[in-house]
């Protein structure tokens, strides 16, 4: 494990030191990416994911797809519920969803994130046929239950109850095993 110091020289970095440096980056930037940290410290993405899992258990970070976010006194410790988020900006969400659904054609494979706008997209997909949809969101999956022409795939993984979404290595691995035409992260 090495890191490049200000002089450009590589130096060894142990687990504790690397984690401390990741915490500093989180405090400075608010978020970090697995691939960036892996390249910076010369360790595998699995090692970085383990570091981020450790920091999450310590209450320092919250893991998100591809990285982590700082969890500090300025970050709400309780994420708003899906129900609370659904009640916000409903007209805009429906407008975005309507435009998005018009892009989806028979034969398409799409990924729908766990957001409340993607829930609206899923609701409008009920009449679509010959579409494969993968999601990490239970709310989105429930909206697609009645869409008989849509083959539903779930990522699986660890459940984040408040947002009704799956996250973690299993969720990321599921996404890497398929090829998709579209991705909706709204």
Give the pLDDT of residue 153.
96
Indicate whether 7 and 65 sit together in one domain: yes
Q: Is the pLDDT of residue 3 over 80?
A: no
- Structurally, the chain folds into a number of domains equal to 2
- Asked whether the beta carbons of 68 and 26 are under 8 A apart, the reply is yes
87 shares a domain with 63: no
Res 77 pLDDT > 50: no
Residue-wise pLDDT for 24-74, tens only, equals 999 888 889 999 999 999 999 999 999 999 998 888 888 887 889 887 544
Residue 146 has pLDDT above 60, yes or no: yes
What's the CA gap between 4 and 16, in Å, rounded?
A: 17
What's the CA gap between 102 and 94, in Å, rounded? 12
Residues 127 and 41 in one domain: no
CA distances to 22, 70, 115, 128, 186 from 33, rounded to whole Å, are 10, 12, 20, 35, 19
Angstrom distance (rounded) from CA 164 to CA 4: 40
Is residue 77 one of the residues assigned to a domain?
A: no
Lowest mean pLDDT among 63-72, 90-99, 122-131: 63-72
Q: Does residue 143 carry a pLDDT above 90?
A: yes
pLDDT at residue 10, as a whole number: 44
For position 61, which CATH number holds?
A: 1.10.10.10
What sign has the CA pseudo-torsion 76, 82, 87, 92? positive
> Do 38 and 125 reside in the same domain of the chain?
no
Please identify which residue in the block is written with the tokens 């110091």: 5
pLDDT tens for 7-31 read 444 445 689 899 999 999 998 888 8
Where would I find the beta strands (DSSP E) of the chain? Answer: 2-4, 10-12, 31-33, 61-64, 67-70, 109-112, 131-135, 150-154, 158-160, 165-167, 182-184
* Domain housing 12: 2-70
Same domain, 105 and 179: yes
Q: What is the edge-to-edge ordering of all strands in the sheet holding 131-135?
A: 150-154, 131-135, 109-112, 182-184
pLDDT for the residue 65: 78
- In CATH, what number is assigned to the domain containing residue 172? 3.30.750
Q: What confidence tier does 117 reach under pLDDT thresholds 50, 70, 90?
A: very high
Same domain, 32 and 89: no
Look at residue 95 and tell me whether its pLDDT is greater than 60. Answer: yes
Task: Indicate if 53 and 97 belong to the same structural domain.
Answer: no
Q: Is 75 among the domain residues?
A: no
- For residues 9 and 75, give the distance between their C-alpha atoms in angstroms, rounded to a whole number: 35
88 or 107, which is more confident = 107
Positive or negative: CA dihedral 97, 103, 107, 109: negative
- Taking the complete model, does pTM exceed 0.85, yes or no? no
Mean model confidence pLDDT for the chain: 86
Asked whether residue 108 falls in the same domain as residue 144, the answer is: yes
């Amino acid at each position: 494990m090495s890191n490049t110091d200000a002089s450009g020289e590589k130096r060894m970095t142990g687990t504790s030191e690397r984690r401390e440096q990741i915490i500093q980056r989180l405090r400075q930037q608010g978020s970090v990416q697995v691939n960036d940290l892996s390249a910076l410290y010369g360790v595998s993405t699995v090692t970085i994911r383990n570091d981020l899992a450790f920091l999450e258990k310590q209450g320092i970070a919250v893991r998100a797809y591809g990285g982590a976010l700082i969890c500090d006194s300025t970050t709400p410790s309780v994420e708003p519920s899906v129900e609370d988020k659904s009640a916000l900006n409903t007209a805009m969400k429906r407008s975005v969803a309507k435009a998005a659904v018009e892009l989806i054609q028979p034969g398409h494979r799409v990924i729908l994130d766990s957001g409340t706008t993607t829930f609206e997209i899923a609701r409008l997909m009920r009449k679509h046929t010959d579409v494969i949809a993968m999601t990490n969101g239970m709310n989105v999956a429930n909206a697609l239950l009645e869409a008989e022409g849509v083959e539903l795939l779930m990522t699986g993984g660890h459940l984040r109850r408040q947002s009704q979404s799956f996250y973690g290595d299993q969720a990321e691995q599921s996404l890497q095993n398929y090829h998709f035409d579209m991705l909706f992260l709204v």
